[in-house]
Amino acid sequence: MSCTRRPVLPDLPELEAAAAVVRVPLTVRFRGVTEREALLLRGPAGWGEFAPFLEYDDAESSRWLASAVEAAWEGFPAPVRERVPVNATVPAVPAGRVPEVLAAFGPVTAVKVKVAEAGQSIADDVGRVAAVREVLPDAALRVDANGGWSVPEAVEALGQLEPFGLEYAEQPVPGINGLAEVRALLEARGTPVRIAADEAVRKAEDPLRVARAGAADLIVVKAAPLGGVRRALEIVREAGLPAVVSSALDTSVGLAAGVALAAALPQLPYACGLGTGALLAHDVVRSPLVPEGGYLRAGAELIRRSEPDPELLARFAVEAERRTWWIERLRRCHAVLVARDPGRGGESRADSDGGHTGT
């Protein structure tokens, strides 16, 4: 892969003609929602998913569009492994619901637990993590605060959670400087919890600042918010830190990009947060990408299983008003991508640099 490669960007009429907008229900509330909307794009290499969360602005959302176009018009890089280890994800549910949530994932060796939920306390977090440890005494545990704590709260909470044997804590506070401060304070107190950067990587203008600032022990990367699989691979290589691949509550179409990223990384020391398909009550494919024995398959099987079913696309299609909303968002984000690189607009797959896989 060359850093000078120019990604494909079809023109707007081609994208709009390829778009299907769906809404699927979740099994539990996640990030404050019980349904997930996504715009799916069908291209010559397969399908891509454009589903930035509703509160994201056009500049940030445009990277999700670049990722969807890469998947559908270029395909994914060749994998270096046939399967990807996956962790279970436990939302900020009451401790009593933890066994039910974990049962949906089947056998797993690692679990990510959401903490720092608005309106909840550190005691709620401790109870949830304790419940996971009770169900899975030997699993690797990591917690994800999504930047929800202040520095003092993070240090206090992680001090209470560390006895459960945390593998790492993901984005305990907002920003790169906050992460660096928490990491230094934990080290000074002798609290052996690794820090993983997530939002600080994908929201920063310069994702590599995390590594340069010594703010994290590892980075969490998501294909869509970073602009696609190839761009995420570049960031991991340049950062020089271990990486965990995670998803963004995607349908199986979007999850395929995350699996392709994890399958293409030279090293993969941690189980990946790609099991969120188990949090969907329904999906747009007939054989959803949910972990089997703690793993997801890559390669040709991944492409086949991420192909939406026409009947399910029709069943979960949004009403006309919501489709219009997503098409308008697509147009604005397309304009952002063209403005960043005016030479990209209107390229077709035949104009690209070739050598793509994924079909």
| Range(s) of the domain holding residue 333 | 12-76+309-351
211 and 225 assigned to the same domain? yes
Whether 174 contacts 203, CB under 8 Å: no
167 and 245 assigned to the same domain? yes
The pTM is what?
0.87
Q: Residue 230: phi, psi to the nearest 5?
A: -65, -40
112 and 220 assigned to the same domain? yes
27 and 121 assigned to the same domain? no
* CATH code of the domain containing 343: 3.30.390.10
30 and 109 assigned to the same domain? no
If we measure between CA atoms, which residue out of 65, 10, 44 comes closest to residue 359? 44
**At which of 286, 305, 324 does a domain end?**
305
Q: What Rg value do the Cα atoms of the chain yield, rounded?
A: 20
Q: Are strands 140-144 and 19-30 parallel, antiparallel or unpaired?
A: unpaired
Per-residue pLDDT of the chain (359 residues; tens, 9 = 90+): 344 567 889 999 999 999 999 999 999 887 778 999 999 999 999 999 999 999 999 999 999 999 999 999 999 999 999 999 999 989 999 999 999 999 988 888 999 999 999 999 999 999 999 999 999 999 999 999 999 999 999 999 999 999 999 999 999 999 999 999 999 999 999 999 999 999 888 765 676 788 889 999 999 999 999 999 999 999 999 889 999 999 988 999 999 999 999 999 999 999 999 988 988 999 999 999 988 888 999 988 888 889 999 999 999 999 999 999 999 999 999 999 999 987 665 554 433 333 333 32
Domain count within the chain: 2
Annotated binding residues for Mg(2+), as ranges? 144, 170, 198
Catalytic residue selected from 114, 133, 142, 230: 114
The answer to whether residue 203 is catalytic is no
The answer to whether residue 222 is catalytic is yes
Catalytic residue selected from 42, 83, 128, 222: 222
205 and 65 assigned to the same domain? no
CA distance 158 to 146: 14
CA distance 93 to 81: 34
